[in-house]
Amino acid sequence: MKQILVLGAGLSAKSLIDYFLNHAKEYNWHITLADLDKAVAQRKIGNSPFGTAIGLDVKNDKAIAELIHEKDVVVSLLPASFHDKIAEECIRQGVNMATASYVSPAMKSRDEEIKAKGLTFLNELGVDPGIDHMSAMQVIDKIRLKGGHLTSFYSFTGGLIAPECDTNPWHYKFTWNPRNVVLAGQGVSQFIKNGKYKYIPYHKLFDRIIEREVLDYGRFEIYPNRDSLKYRKLYQLDDIRSMFRGTMRRPGYAEAWNVFVQLGCTDDTYTLEESETMTYREFINTFMRYNPGKPVEEKLVEYLDLDPQGEVMKKLTWLGIFEDRVIGIPLATPAQILQKLLEEKWALSPDDKDMIVMQHEFEYELLNKSYQIISSMVFKGKDTVDTAMAFTVGTPLAIAVKLLLNGQISTKGVLIPTKAELYNPILKELKDYGINFVEKELLN
């Protein structure tokens, strides 16, 4: 019997655990699900005879070592900061590992050692990173196979609310980690356009958006991801003239979000005095010039040159940032205060459905002609438990683990799904679940 250890029973665990349990009898698997809250793990295992739920404190090194012992693969759904610790123990005991997270520098540095031990460490097998790699590389390899030369690659992904559940003026609700949304884009974004390197500092990021239409789902706006350039090496596109990756939102989001960026409300590096007794109105006022005779709204409009009756102010007012309501968090950073408010206003309602939107745009040359391929995918969740986000993070990872346990992955070392050995079978199976890319090819 193959032994699978899953660490972490959070949001993305349900789809992965369901997949393992549904295939356990067929492939002779047993799944151990460990979480700090054993009850949460038990709910996901249910009454299945193929699963065991246990409580685990990931800071307990001895307990982790005992759990990993004699397992065939360890799947880490823990926060990414724990992966290196788990990887270290897996290397020591000679156990394969899989995550949905980005490859860490520490794990990458152990690649040769992992190969020497005959192990496979699977990474970046969620939605982004994950499905984005696989769907892009499938098209890129197809272009290369027929002799085409890729000149441009644009890629966009968004975790959004389904149109039928879009009930607020921001056209956005939290479908994943709120903290990541609040801190998104901090640093410098970089990409290449027609051979020219472009760099966008954080305070200008939400001014520099592009727009696209996706299938029959209307228009979306896209702000640049932090580092598009690193994907040239991952996809073996070192000579490409244009490379851009971005995050998708509905039109109007970026202009309103930029208010928080310009004010400093997304800063997570310092705490505010007396934040527990401060109101949201006072919070916004802390970033304004001292002028006790002028309302906060008027100061904000003047400071950022906003239309007092415009859509941005309507979004901000709806959000509640001008309300005399106590925040109630001691020693909070601006980002934590903003996140608390957003979690109240952008929470999913019981009947809501989320959706994942992804679109790739390729331009290539072949026989003195220029072509464009647009590859698009939209996938909706079932409800607030079986979300599109959770499914697209957990299911590709589960399929990859199945391939590994069944001996269908021969490559050893630290892997991401940019090779046909991985992306072809995973994408083929995902299509059965409705995750299907629609391709359109045009002659430029």
Four-way CATH pick for 2-123: 1.10.1040.10, 1.10.1200.10, 3.40.1370.10, 3.40.50.720: 3.40.50.720
Four-way CATH pick for 131-253+350-387+439-443: 3.30.360.10, 3.30.559.10, 3.40.50.300, 3.30.470.10: 3.30.360.10
pLDDT tens, residue by residue, 351-397 = 999 999 999 999 999 999 999 999 999 999 999 999 999 999 999 99
pLDDT tens, residue by residue, 55-71 = 999 999 999 999 999 99
Provide the pLDDT confidence category of residue 444 given band limits of 50, 70 and 90.
confident
Provide the pLDDT confidence category of residue 11 given band limits of 50, 70 and 90.
confident
Euclidean distance between CA atoms 222 and 213, whole angstroms? 11
Euclidean distance between CA atoms 182 and 143, whole angstroms? 37
**Residue-level pLDDT at 12:** 82
User: What are the two backbone dihedrals, phi and then psi, of residue 236, each rounded to the nearest 5 degrees?
Assistant: 55, 50
Domain boundaries, the chain: 2-123, 131-253+350-387+439-443, 266-345
Judge whether residue 176 has pLDDT over 90. Answer: no
Euclidean distance between CA atoms 426 and 419, whole angstroms? 11
Answer for the pair 17, 8: CB distance below 8 angstroms, yes or no.
Answer: no
Euclidean distance between CA atoms 229 and 165, whole angstroms? 35
Question: Where does 325-380 show beta strands of DSSP type E?
Answer: 354-366, 369-380
Kindly state the percentage of the chain with pLDDT values over 90. Answer: 98
Euclidean distance between CA atoms 438 and 444, whole angstroms? 19
pLDDT tens, residue by residue, 66-89 = 999 999 999 999 999 999 999 999
As given in the structure block, the two tokens for residue 423 are 């992306």
Instruction: Characterize the bridge pairing of strands 2-7 and 73-76.
Output: parallel
Judge whether residue 256 has pLDDT over 90. Answer: yes
The chain-wide mean pLDDT, for the chain, equals: 96
Judge if 2-123 and 131-253+350-387+439-443 fold alike in CATH terms. Answer: no
As given in the structure block, the two tokens for residue 218 are 């209307």
Provide the pLDDT confidence category of residue 440 given band limits of 50, 70 and 90.
very high
CA 204 centroid distance within chain: 22
What average pLDDT score do residues 223-241 get? 95
Euclidean distance between CA atoms 361 and 195, whole angstroms? 17
Judge whether residue 115 has pLDDT over 90. Answer: yes
Answer for the pair 394, 12: CB distance below 8 angstroms, yes or no.
Answer: yes
What average pLDDT score do residues 245-273 get? 98
What average pLDDT score do residues 257-273 get? 98
As given in the structure block, the two tokens for residue 207 are 């001014």
pTM of the model: 0.94
